[in-house]
Chain A
Amino acid sequence: MSKSEVREGLAFLMPLILVLVIFILLGVLFTVMDSFFRDVTYLPKKFIGLENYAALFGDRAFRQSIEFTFLFVLVSVPLEVFIGLVIALVLNESFPLRGAVRASILIPWAIPNAVTGRIFELIYNYSYGGANYLLRTLHISSDPVHWLGDPAGAFFSLVLADAWKTTPFAAIILLAGLSAIPSDLYAQARVDRAGFMQRLVKVTLPLLKPVLVVTFLFRTIQALQIFDIIYVLTKGGPGGSTMSLSMYGYLSFSAGDFGYGSAISVILFLMAFGFSLGYLRLGAFGKEIS
């Protein structure tokens, strides 16, 4: 490694480093700083140390938003990874029209979250939405369901809308993992007269483990931040039951309290960071990077 090579390396890297530092890294540092201030549009700016955090600790709405966010991650991520796995298994086999099915799974991913939110807002509409229509036509229930009308219903509705949007992403990553499994391993298993389920459990899943971990990680980080769909579909309601951490931080900003909002987003950041570290420890990452 010569000196000029190092200099060259740096030169090629500089734009990327600059952009990431200026627009992201400094951002987090600044936000952390701001969280130690009383930064409210109609009050003089003042250093208040950990007071914002102390206030968060006693803030019921904040606690509820953490509960909701955790619950959301706990329910939606495994669900999405599971469905994603099923879809990936299906797409891993060849069958006629596979291309069409593969194209179709990209569509939810390509549509902006805000649009998804509105589509599902219509689907969940009490009087004439698609969901109640399905319930009626499939004779599951003749009374319309007030999907967004109670905490449980709203929660489930959000999970479904989010799953629709993000399961394809999980499916694609898992599909990549599946393709990487050498087919002679399956051939071998067949020779050993292993059935479908056995092949799945003994061959596929173990080899898929690193990819599964990656998928879980990415989806967890994304789910922690959930904002777009909530903003459009429930705005945190009804009665504040679907308030995510991002949403709560945003609400603080839009009421003019930037310091408090910063504190909330620092907590969210720490959670995301904590999860990343946790997954990284599982070691799967060392392989992925190199």
Chain B
Amino acid sequence: MRGKIRRIKFILPLILSHLLICCSSSQEARVIFAVGGTPAELKGWEQLVNGFQWRSGIPIEILLLPADTDQQRQSLIISLEAGVKNPDVFLMDVGWLALFSHSGWLEPLKGIDTAPFFSKVIELSDTYQGNLVALPMYMDGGLLYYRKDLLNASGISGPPKTWENLLSTSLLIQPGMRRERPDFYGFVWQGAEYEGLICDFLEFAGSNGGFILKDGLIRVNTPENRHAVQFMHDLIWKYKISPPTTYTEMKEEQVRRYFQRGDALYERNWPYAWNLHEDEESEVRNRTGIAPIPAPRGAESVSTLGGWHIGVSRFSDAKPEALEFVKYVTSYMGQKKMVLLLGWNPGRQDLYLDREVIEKMPHFSKLKEIFQNAGPRPMVPYYAQVSKIVQTKINGVLAGRYSSDQALKEADEEIAALLKRYRIE
């Protein structure tokens, strides 16, 4: 009698937990597509996904991840490292693509012709050990947005081509604007401690700066980089043309909203902001122009290559269906929808020549060239950690914690230690 009751005490929790497992996992075999991003993007995805479901009959569901790229990465890493079967297909920031492919989490994509896509990107990031493991969904490259109306009013003919010029025009215009708009700043950009900071940094540093990959080492302590970081610091503290919250709060959306309110002269952001700036309710509608990123003195301008790639999980239980979805969203028609509905920049080069597309997005011709030449970040699996080291140091400079010399010197040391640990020499 006693033994029986004792046994029940053990069995009950076990039964409970099995019930829990059954109830909390989904039953149908459907394609689960994990994607994060801003709400505007989500709406676009919903449309695409519905179109796919309608056309192919394959049930598909969106799993919404946070907008922050690091949080997306964390969530996906947990799923993949645990070998869980969902999500089946997901988007990856080009920055962590190498981590995912090297960890063996991506299923090779068969039967896809890669010729229409941007070849440099396919070669550098989407191929692993001879297999195609991902495709560029959309491309991103940093752009400079500017208020044409304000420049014209001050008699300035065009957007700045150098960082010095950007600085001087901001100093010229900002005081006047401050009289009516106390929160007006010359230049808003992403300075918070996250990957976006690196993207901006690479652009401040220009063609002679950035990550130096040599002899198997990654270095950042160069005169051009030190100068760039100092410049970033001075924009906030010395010249005061960027808000103090730049290094604590400013990410893509914060920057975009700041500019869209009419409180900035220049904005560094990705192409996605264009459509939103031209939106009905935008304060800067018809008053915004885009230009390539300015160049530092003595070097050429660099636009950081960004973008999101789509891949299929090696642990997926719906691989053929997932592959169908990948083919759909990277097809000519699929990508064209993305462009026309949401202004996204497709990973397919051929679309940039499409007549309808050029009509709706005239700036695309500029973009194509920018993307072809855009500077990628190092495609190594440990990039996330290298980036974190550099992010922390640069953000530290912006916060007044280090000098730019000390920061980059320490960054190099810590990166070298990291590589040594992984015996990557």
Contact = CB atoms under 8 A, between A and B. Distances in A.
B245 interface: yes
Given A146-B244, A149-B247, A40 B422 contact: yes
A41 interface: yes
A149 B399 contact: yes
A213 B81 CA distance: 42
B417 A41 contact: no
B398 A15 contact: no
B148 interface: no
Contacts of A235: 193
A210 interface: no
B388 A43 contact: no
A246 to B, nearest CB: 15
Contacts of A237: 192-193, 248, 392, 395, 399
A130 interface: no
A150 B396 CA distance: 9
Contacts of A254: 70, 73-74, 77
Interface in B387-404: 388-389, 392-393, 395-402
Contact of B193 (A15, A51, A60, A238): A238
Interface string A57-89: 011110000000000000000000000000000
A235 B74 CA distance: 14
Interface centre among B99, B385, B413, B421 (most CB of A within 10 A): B421
B355 interface: no
A195 B293 CA distance: 73
Interface stretch (A216-224, A255-263, A269-277, A278-286): A255-263
A146 B77 contact: no
A60 B77 contact: no
B99 A239 contact: no
B395 A239 contact: yes
Nearest to B407: A239
B214 interface: no
A126 B193 contact: no
A55 interface: yes
Contacts of B384: 255-256
Contacts of A238: 193, 247-248, 395-396, 398-399, 401
A150 B420 CA distance: 32
B55 interface: no
A239 B421 contact: no
Interface of A: 11, 15, 38, 40-43, 51-52, 55, 58-61, 126-127, 146, 148-151, 235-241, 251, 254-257, 260
Interface of B: 6, 9-10, 70, 73-74, 77, 81, 99, 102-105, 183, 192-193, 244-245, 247-249, 381-382, 384-385, 388-389, 392-393, 395-402, 410, 413-414, 417, 420-422
19 contacts: A15-B9, A51-B421, A60-B413, A61-B414, A126-B244, A146-B245, A149-B399, A150-B399, A238-B193, A238-B398, A239-B193, A239-B396, A239-B397, A239-B399, A254-B77, A255-B382, A255-B388, A256-B99, A257-B385
